[in-house]
Chains A and B, each alone.
Chain A
């Protein structure tokens, strides 16, 4: 039994030291040799005080005293000396050794080396410092907030981006960094997330508008992470300012690839738009002349002539049906439509539309009650909005007052979305050509003209018009089916009469 215990002591990972009440070391295991540097031969028979730093000698007297009075204590953290004079942090576990009669004949000490865990602690601290210094140097702003939206940390890049100092923002609600409307929506969003756990932005990343201390707004790309540590629930927001040139190009490229995604439809749509609006003109004339000729020709006197006229009418009708079936084909190629909330859709599109605009543009978005949700293809309608808004921003490039308004209105079975600028109005030449397919006045840009916009809107069962145009600005308006199930807009109107 004794041999068995000795074997355990020898192979233990912690140093185990036995000593008598006088403090003389009696046993010394391998782990003790590794920790302190003395072999058993060197140290057994020596006083335990060999291992105790001078200023901690009182600890030993204290231990012996407590032992003699029968008081036990489990362990305490202290320091001990190695053979080469190093101080090492240790945790001591001290227990009395009794003889058969129960008298204390000695003391066993288990010494655990704390320097490993301490080193890890230090490593952690330095890693934290490194992370901190990285966060302070990356161009992206980092803001940490708790689940009540209170800012806990505001990086130096964030200070530069928003114009607030860390002292001004820490402890403040994070929605101070958003335009007023978004700020309100954000409160609601955080509440919803707490209750439903439904993520709208976390882990996804999206383009939003930020608001600087001086009130100006700018587009930024936001990535939100979520951390739950020991009961606290934190959100980290990385923000990338998109005002800078290269970012604008990158985002526009991403957008363009979305456009290419739907370009097949767009090209076909543009062709069909041209056919419907242009080829139908001569077809109309042919059909009219043929119908008139049929009345002029006496079928009994000139059966061959009457037959030929009938053929002209038939062939014109055949051409008409080809146009109709092409339009039906485009309609069939519709991408998926679903109910979309217009507020976030317009917000995100406006952030993109304002990318890279130099100087301030006052953006005003008003989504009216009863005109807040539409049944649409999100990407397509965003293209229409983006196109109208970028045209509007371009139109205002020389204007003193630069106001861009987007509002939605209840239009019965449809929702009307209006885009209004405060620019100088369209030139007469431009107005004439506005919706003509295959015509663009711009050398560059996204390349999707108003004619495509009109095709998209018409495919949604709506209409795109230039509603107002004078020296005070231009308003474009388009209609889309409602998304709240109030009606079956987009379906053909009911047939029949009374």
Chain B
């Protein structure tokens, strides 16, 4: 699948060179995911050290029709025996191992799973590091659920 241009939005920062095969469909956003997800259910993993935030991601993503796995730390994700998800949502600011560090570890293992990185301060430094790891979506916290669902849906 090839990506199409999207209008710039306040909460997202797009990088020029995505390595994954998913992107944002050009069609009407909310209608797009509502239509397609029901027929193409897919797995998404969320890693965030805040359990309440984690639970809210599960709520909205499951309602959108995804199979959702949640992890409270990078280590617990790395230790899980689940098959690789279609898309991975990472909180950046986590103690012990940050979202970027987890992404780097995954790339080192040869994984090219599409990653959405969520951070309170998407600085150029973080965006630059993310793009080195082939992460094309760096969303400012709190992310727009619609945008998140749209992107995850495009990865399936």
**Is the Cβ of A291 less than 8 Å from the Cβ of B141?**
no
**Is the Cβ of B57 less than 8 Å from the Cβ of A490?**
no
**Is the Cβ of B13 less than 8 Å from the Cβ of A497?**
no
Report if A276-B52 is in contact (Cβ < 8 Å); known contacts: A283-B142, A288-B145, A497-B18. Answer: no
B residues in contact with A324, CB < 8 Å: 10, 140
**Is the Cβ of A497 less than 8 Å from the Cβ of B64?**
no
Report if A285-B56 is in contact (Cβ < 8 Å); known contacts: A277-B93, A493-B128. Answer: yes
- A11 to B16 alpha-carbon distance, docked (Å): 98
**Is the Cβ of A463 less than 8 Å from the Cβ of B126?**
yes
Report if A490-B124 is in contact (Cβ < 8 Å); known contacts: A277-B93, A497-B14, A497-B23. Answer: yes
Report if A497-B6 is in contact (Cβ < 8 Å); known contacts: A277-B120, A414-B124. Answer: yes
- A276 to B50 alpha-carbon distance, docked (Å): 14
- Is B15 on the interface with A (CB-CB < 8 A)? yes
- A291 to B126 alpha-carbon distance, docked (Å): 27
Output the least CB separation between A361 and chain B (Å).
Answer: 29
**Is the Cβ of A281 less than 8 Å from the Cβ of B125?**
no
Contacting B at CB under 8 A, from A445-474, are 458, 461-463, 465
Interface size on A, residues (CB 8 A): 43
Report if A289-B6 is in contact (Cβ < 8 Å); known contacts: A414-B125, A431-B95. Answer: no
A residues in contact with B118, CB < 8 Å: 284
Interface size on B, residues (CB 8 A): 49
A residues in contact with B24, CB < 8 Å: 497
A residues in contact with B63, CB < 8 Å: 292, 295-296
- A6 to B57 alpha-carbon distance, docked (Å): 117
**Is the Cβ of A292 less than 8 Å from the Cβ of B60?**
yes
**Is the Cβ of B55 less than 8 Å from the Cβ of A285?**
yes
- Is A479 on the interface with B (CB-CB < 8 A)? yes
- Is A42 on the interface with B (CB-CB < 8 A)? no
Output the least CB separation between B119 and chain A (Å).
Answer: 9
Output the least CB separation between A491 and chain B (Å).
Answer: 7
Report if A289-B16 is in contact (Cβ < 8 Å); known contacts: A413-B128, A491-B124, A493-B128. Answer: no
New A-B pairs, 11, CB < 8 Å, besides A280-B142, A463-B125: A280-B141, A284-B142, A285-B55, A290-B145, A292-B59, A413-B128, A462-B124, A493-B13, A493-B128, A494-B14, A494-B16
CB-defined A-B contacts under 8 Å, sample of 7: A276-B120, A292-B59, A320-B142, A413-B124, A490-B124, A493-B131, A495-B8
* Chain B residues packing against A (C-beta within 8 Å): 3-6, 8, 10, 13-18, 23-24, 34, 50, 52-53, 55-57, 59-60, 62-64, 93, 95, 98, 118, 120-121, 123-129, 131, 136, 140-146, 149
* Chain A residues packing against B (C-beta within 8 Å): 276-277, 280-292, 295-296, 316, 320, 324, 327, 412-414, 431-432, 458, 461-463, 465, 479, 481, 489-498
